[in-house]
Structure 1
Amino acid sequence: MASRLPIIAVIAAVLLFLLYSSIFVVNAGQQAIVLRFGEIIDVKNEPGVYFKAPFAFFDADSVQMIEKRVMRLDLDDIRVQVSGGKFYEVDAFIAYRVSDPRTFRAAVSGQIELAEARLRTRLDAALRRVYGLRDFEAALSEERGNMMREVRDQLRPDATSLGLDVEDVRIRRTDLTAEVSQQTYDRMKAERLAEAERLRAQGNVAAQTIRARADREVVETVAEAQKDSEILRGEGEAQRAATFADAYKRDPAFFEFYRSMNAYGTALDNTGTTMVLSPQSEFFRYFRDPEAKPEPGQPAASLPAPAATTAPAAPAAQPSTAQ
């Protein structure tokens, strides 16, 4: 019995090895392709434990695991040309999954890297076609959604030939290239400078208009004030003359005396003037006789303001001037 234990152990080990070689597990998010001598004999799409023929090392049956989940392929800095002839840089990504494992195995031997390389090339071409029919502003407007759907629809036939299903295509960024960005900046700068010059010119015109209006209002106000002052001065002179006339009518003697006193004050306040008058002159009659009254028809003594070198005599006086 003891001599049979090694044999039993070997047989058990062989059985365990055969069992292990014939079992494979498919996890959630995976699908398995069962191959026999390189040919696909079965595809397992649901998670679980499955059996296959053993001796995979003899290439009898083998299992290739393929992702079942939706995967993402990013493409950055794709250089595209729009309808206007300018170039832009676009970032986009594809959401896809393996929908047909048999076709996927036959097209790219089940290598996801090869499938993504072919998708990258076809996405680049689709983006160029879509952008080539539009201008730059389309990618920044509501048409952006239509552009993404159009790229997706162009990719789907090629993806189907690879056993893939393109779920969605998204354009993440559309930006100016360095040279176009500088040109756009220079153009925008020139437009802003022109706008600033236009606004500055409008401001200068408005300032000149306001200044001219203010100057005109000043001239009109000053002229109106001068006119009013002349009118008031004339009215005052008229009122003064009327007051003097009324005073003369009421008391001619006092009025003559008042005018003579004003003439004396004017003559004596003037400096630099010498007057030579006769003491018997009518001009000094109130000095000789404070009660003197002018003869009828004879004007009262008066003396206007003298010039720098000459002092005119009062009425009825015979003055001579000397410097």
Structure 2
Amino acid sequence: MDQNNPNPFASLEQKFNEQFKNKNKIPKTREPLNLKKHMKAIITLTIVFAALIILLANVYVVKENEYRVVRQFGEVVDLRDDPGIYMKVPFVQSVSSLPRYQMTYNVSEAEINTKDKKRIIIDNYAVWRITQPKAMITNAGTLLNAEARMEEFIYSVVRSELGQLNYDEIINDENTSRGSLNDRVTARVNELLKDDNYGVEVVDVRMKRTDLPPENEQSVYTRMISERQSIAQKYLSEGDAEKRTIEASTDRKVQEMVAIAQKEASIIAASGESEAAKIYNQSFSKDPEFYALYRTLESYKKTIGDDTMIILPSDSPYAKILSGYLE
């Protein structure tokens, strides 16, 4: 026990009293927030946030493959084609885009008459692009209107060009009459578009398909078959004629070669016979009697056979030799 502190429970009492005071202590009330002190900061943040939104809403980006058209109250005031980030006037100006790349347009099918009064259905497509956006907007207004005008020009030019060709010349790819048709159509359509200042250019016009009207198909197919058969028969006739010519030429050359060979063989044979006769004469001249006997014996080969009957006098030299008497 501590002599200086005779109450050993003094610390516990003190601790208990402090806890009791804390439990019965009345909490202090907080003062209300004074908005007037923070109004300036709130207004500043609101203005900055609104300015940021307006700034972002009026920034536009120009890509490499597009034109950006800036309008003010509907009028075109600026055109941008350089890639980058630009700013427009808020609430006054608007921005729209136009394609800068090449586009493909399928021209509607159309029926035309050829030079030989045949009706055919053509199907074309065009590759085109915008070269002058302001002129296109001023004179055509929209891409749809520009394509519509381009289609009218293409149909008019194609009808005019194909109207100068026969049907066979159009469908026959080997015929040179159609060779530069696509180039002529492209050049002529560009001239018409340039005259009206539509600000667009046709890169190429191509014919995808040529068909016959259903009511004409069978008659044309029948005529085409007849023409092909006629051409085939012509080729066969020309082939037979060429065959006969070659055979006649070959037979003539063979006969000439055989005649030359026979002539040379006759010359060689005659030369051999002459040389043989010369040798015979030289040989037989040495003994004429032997030669006469040899000639007689040779004659027996030709005159006497299995069924040969010869009647000769017994004293005939020919019979004597045949009988074996040589003297």
TM-score between the two structures when normalised by the length of structure 1: 0.57
Q: Displacement of 1:63 after TM fit?
A: 1.6
SS at match of 2:246: helix
Separation (CA, whole Å) in 2 of partners of 1:11 and 1:185: 89
State the match for 1:31 in structure 2.
68
Q: Does the CA-based 8 Å contact 1:73-1:116 persist in structure 2?
A: no
Q: Kindly tell me: are residues 151 and 196 of structure 1, through their superposed partners in 2, closer, same or farther at Cα, counting changes over 3 Å?
A: farther
Separation (CA, whole Å) in 1 of partners of 2:192 and 2:159: 12
State the match for 1:318 in structure 2.
none
2:243 pairs with 1:206: no
Q: Displacement of 1:51 after TM fit?
A: 1.6
SS at match of 1:51: coil
Q: Deviations over 1:94-142 (max 9, x none)?
A: 22245227x727854xx4334333433333333333444567434424x
Q: Kindly tell me: are residues 145 and 263 of structure 1, through their superposed partners in 2, closer, same or farther at Cα, counting changes over 3 Å?
A: closer
Q: Kindly tell me: are residues 34 and 14 of structure 1, through their superposed partners in 2, closer, same or farther at Cα, counting changes over 3 Å?
A: farther
Alignment of 1:23-62 (within 5 A): 23-28=57-62, 29-36=66-73, 39-40=74-75, 43-46=77-80, 48-53=86-91, 61=92
Separation (CA, whole Å) in 2 of partners of 1:169 and 1:264: 106
Q: Displacement of 1:16 after TM fit?
A: 4.4
Query: Given residue 126 of structure 1, which amino acid in structure 2 is its aligned partner?
Result: V
State the match for 2:97 in structure 1.
66
- How well do the aligned residues superpose, as a CA RMSD in angstroms? 5.0
Separation (CA, whole Å) in 2 of partners of 1:120 and 1:224: 84
Separation (CA, whole Å) in 2 of partners of 1:126 and 1:246: 111
Query: Given residue 3 of structure 1, which amino acid in structure 2 is its aligned partner?
Result: L
Q: Does the CA-based 8 Å contact 1:260-1:301 persist in structure 2?
A: no
SS at match of 1:45: strand
SS at match of 1:52: coil
Separation (CA, whole Å) in 1 of partners of 2:178 and 2:86: 46
Separation (CA, whole Å) in 2 of partners of 1:128 and 1:189: 31
Q: Deviations over 1:265-322 (max 9, x none)?
A: 969x9545688999xx447xxxxxxxxxxxxxx789444xxxxxxxxx999xxxxxxx
Q: Displacement of 1:66 after TM fit?
A: 2.8
Query: Given residue 246 of structure 2, which amino acid in structure 1 is its aligned partner?
Result: A
Separation (CA, whole Å) in 2 of partners of 1:260 and 1:229: 22
SS at match of 1:27: strand
SS at match of 2:100: coil
Q: Does the CA-based 8 Å contact 2:186-2:203 persist in structure 1?
A: yes
Separation (CA, whole Å) in 2 of partners of 1:182 and 1:9: 89
SS at match of 2:191: helix
Q: Does the CA-based 8 Å contact 2:109-2:123 persist in structure 1?
A: yes
Query: How many correspondences in the alignment?
Result: 266
State the match for 2:179 in structure 1.
140
2:251 pairs with 1:218: no
2:223 pairs with 1:191: no
Q: Deviations over 1:155-197 (max 9, x none)?
A: 2334x3xxx4123431345665476899778756753552353
1:3 to 23, 35, 39: 35
Query: Given residue 100 of structure 1, which amino acid in structure 2 is its aligned partner?
Result: K
Q: Kindly tell me: are residues 25 and 129 of structure 1, through their superposed partners in 2, closer, same or farther at Cα, counting changes over 3 Å?
A: farther
Separation (CA, whole Å) in 1 of partners of 2:157 and 2:295: 118
State the match for 1:170 in structure 2.
204
Q: Deviations over 1:80-99 (max 9, x none)?
A: 65545564554332222452
Gaps of 5+ in 2: 1-32, 171-175
Separation (CA, whole Å) in 2 of partners of 1:236 and 1:225: 16
Query: Given residue 93 of structure 1, which amino acid in structure 2 is its aligned partner?
Result: V
Q: Kindly tell me: are residues 129 and 52 of structure 1, through their superposed partners in 2, closer, same or farther at Cα, counting changes over 3 Å?
A: farther
Q: Displacement of 1:152 after TM fit?
A: 0.7
Which sits farther off after the overlay, 235-244 or 66-75?
A: 235-244
Q: Kindly tell me: are residues 199 and 274 of structure 1, through their superposed partners in 2, closer, same or farther at Cα, counting changes over 3 Å?
A: closer
Q: Does the CA-based 8 Å contact 1:31-1:43 persist in structure 2?
A: no
Q: Does the CA-based 8 Å contact 2:123-2:209 persist in structure 1?
A: yes
Separation (CA, whole Å) in 2 of partners of 1:260 and 1:100: 126
Query: Given residue 171 of structure 1, which amino acid in structure 2 is its aligned partner?
Result: V
Q: Displacement of 1:44 after TM fit?
A: 2.6
2:156 pairs with 1:122: no
Q: Kindly tell me: are residues 21 and 31 of structure 1, through their superposed partners in 2, closer, same or farther at Cα, counting changes over 3 Å?
A: same
Q: Kindly tell me: are residues 167 and 271 of structure 1, through their superposed partners in 2, closer, same or farther at Cα, counting changes over 3 Å?
A: closer
Query: Given residue 193 of structure 2, which amino acid in structure 1 is its aligned partner?
Result: L
TM-score between the two structures when normalised by the length of structure 2: 0.56
Identity %: 13
SS at match of 2:235: helix
Q: Kindly tell me: are residues 49 and 17 of structure 1, through their superposed partners in 2, closer, same or farther at Cα, counting changes over 3 Å?
A: same
Separation (CA, whole Å) in 2 of partners of 1:113 and 1:264: 119
